[in-house]
């Protein structure tokens, strides 16, 4: 359960940072473009792809870390149960 809370927290923090950047005018990732901004489409597309890549890297690393912890917990629980069975016999 804690793993999913951490993943949700990482997603929420990332979206909040992107929203702050949008609010202060650093990125047009979350909002629509006005007709005047269409001329700068190529430059804004690169900026959006840059932020999307950062978001993807952060989320991927969060998922990898959570999966590593989850598998370690499962493996640890499996080993402990095997040891208990051996001690009981």
* Coil/strand/helix, residue 28: coil
Spell out the domain ranges in the chain: 2-30+41-83
Identify whether the C-beta of residue 19 lies closer than 8 Å to the C-beta of residue 30. yes
Tell me, what's the pLDDT at 34?
59
* Backbone dihedral region for residue 44 (phi beyond 0: left; psi -120 to 50: alpha; all else: beta): alpha
Tell me, what's the pLDDT at 15?
87
Identify whether the C-beta of residue 75 lies closer than 8 Å to the C-beta of residue 20. no
Tell me, what's the pLDDT at 42?
58
Tell me, what's the pLDDT at 66?
87
Identify whether the C-beta of residue 6 lies closer than 8 Å to the C-beta of residue 67. no
For residue 34, the surrounding DSSP H or E stretch is: none
Tell me, what's the pLDDT at 47?
79
* Coil/strand/helix, residue 53: helix
pLDDT averages per 10-residue partition of the chain, 89 residues: 82 85 65 57 74 90 89 71 60
Tell me, what's the pLDDT at 36?
58
Tell me, what's the pLDDT at 57?
92
Tell me, what's the pLDDT at 21?
77
């Amino acid at each position: 359960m804690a793993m999913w809370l951490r993943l949700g927290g990482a997603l929420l923090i990332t979206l909040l940072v992107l929203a702050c950047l949008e609010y202060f005018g650093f990125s047009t990732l979350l909002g629509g473009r006005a007709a005047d901004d269409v001329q700068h489409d190529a430059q804004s597309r690169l900026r959006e792809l840059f932020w999307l890549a950062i978001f993807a890297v952060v989320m991927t690393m969060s998922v990898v870390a959570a999966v590593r912890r989850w598998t370690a917990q499962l493996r640890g629980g499996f080993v402990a149960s095997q040891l208990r069975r051996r001690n009981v016999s």
